[in-house]
Amino acid sequence: AASVQTGSGSLDWRSARPMLRTHSIYMHQHAYMFDQNVGDNVAYGLRKAGVPAAQRIERVRTALAWAGLADLEARSARHLSGGERQRLALARARVLSPALLLLDEPTTNMDEEARQQSFFLIRRLVSEGTGVVIASHDRQIIGQLGDRHVNLADGRLVAVEKSTRSAPARGADVPVHSAAKAP
């Protein structure tokens, strides 16, 4: 059946589906952007959840500031760079306060600055209490962000390893800057 054995018992995926729908968010490597402005893209999930307009506005502004996108709130999401789109997708996820964020290749086709900005935001999500699972072929992202590595081959678990990386020095993270501001 659709169950997984864990150290503390068994998890039946069918019974877990409602919980997963309400407490987790999946981000595809090419995040979908609605044909709206940046602020409306972040507000989408809040609107669907029935969050009142005044709270929505405040939460959207907080999320955009968090992602370094406050200056781009009125810009069409279709006109963002790849790194800005990824930061927008992270802000859109964060505003919903998921317990678990599933990221599929979160730094695909990004330059080094955009990658580091995404790493910074992902670390912040973890420090804020969000569980993050990253699926990636990119060893750099795994080395910089993971505290445990799960290796799969042909759909089977091959190994689970603790990361050998040390925690980054305080202040070593790259801050996020809006494209409208100088870094």
> What's the pLDDT tens digit per position in 81-101?
989 999 999 999 999 999 999
Q: Which residue has the higher pLDDT, 106 or 20?
A: 106
Q: What secondary structure letter does DSSP report for 24?
A: E
Domain ranges of the chain: 3-162
Q: What is the mean pLDDT of the chain?
A: 81
- For the 3-162 domain, the top CATH level (class) is alpha beta
Element (H, E) at 66: helix 53-66
Q: What's the pLDDT at 141? A: 75
pLDDT digits (tens, 9 = 90+) for 119-159: 999 999 999 999 888 888 877 777 777 777 777 788 787 88
Q: What's the pLDDT at 68? A: 95
Threshold 0.85, pTM exceeds: no
3-state secondary structure 132-158: EEEECCCHHHHHHHCCEEEEEECCEEE
Average pLDDT over residues 164-168: 52
Instruction: Report d(CA 135, CA 103) in Å as an integer.
Output: 6
Instruction: Report d(CA 53, CA 75) in Å as an integer.
Output: 20
Report whether 95 contacts 87 (CB < 8 A): no
pLDDT digits (tens, 9 = 90+) for 34-67: 889 999 999 999 999 999 999 999 999 999 999 9
